[in-house]
Amino acid sequence: MKHALLLLVTTLAAAFIWVEVAPAVAVTQPLAFNHAKHTSALTCTACHSGAITGQRATLPSGDVCAKCHAAAPASVKPAAWDAIEKASAVPPWVPVTRLPSHVRFSHYRHTTLGGLACESCHGDIAKRTTPPARTAMRIEMKTCLACHQKEGASEDCAGCHR
């Protein structure tokens, strides 16, 4: 009985560590989005609402893309645009960032109140010509704590943990 219990606890611990600590699996986005082409004329918040004023930054829907691309000349429309228009939707983007359920994160607290630039966490995303397959940095406690210490931000557990 003790052996079976020990095996169960070990298996559950290994599963928890795998889910919470292992690097995120690379994802494939539905379109070959080029941030570099867009960031020369747009800010992050033009497509990612909530990045400055909200808890979460959104991944843009097809409507956000259509605001610029639908009326644009053919020379600035992406190659896949005709197919997208026929389907009347941009396939949903696949999130590359996953927070553990016990973590509370607010873009507003980090960007507006903390004064951090998007690049602080998202790296040189503005220069990318292909969509990211994974996060620019590991989302784990030691990464967050190192930044909080460097920036002089609160390290109170209740500020980030549910």
The domain locations on the chain are 25-160
Using one digit for the tens of pLDDT, what is the confidence trace for 12-54?
A: 565 565 555 555 578 888 888 889 988 888 999 999 999 999 9
Name beta bridge partners: 91: none
Find all residues with CB under 8 Å of 86, minimum gap 6, and list them. none
Report pLDDT for 89.
64
77 φ/ψ sector (left φ>0, alpha ψ -120 to 50, else beta): beta
Percentage with pLDDT > 70 across the chain: 80
Phi then psi dihedrals of residue 136, to 5 deg: -70, -25
pLDDT for residue 85 is more than 70: no
Q: Residue 73 has what pLDDT? A: 74
Q: Taking the CB of residue 65, how many other CB atoms lie within 10 A of it? A: 19
**Which residue bears the tokens 């691309």?**
69
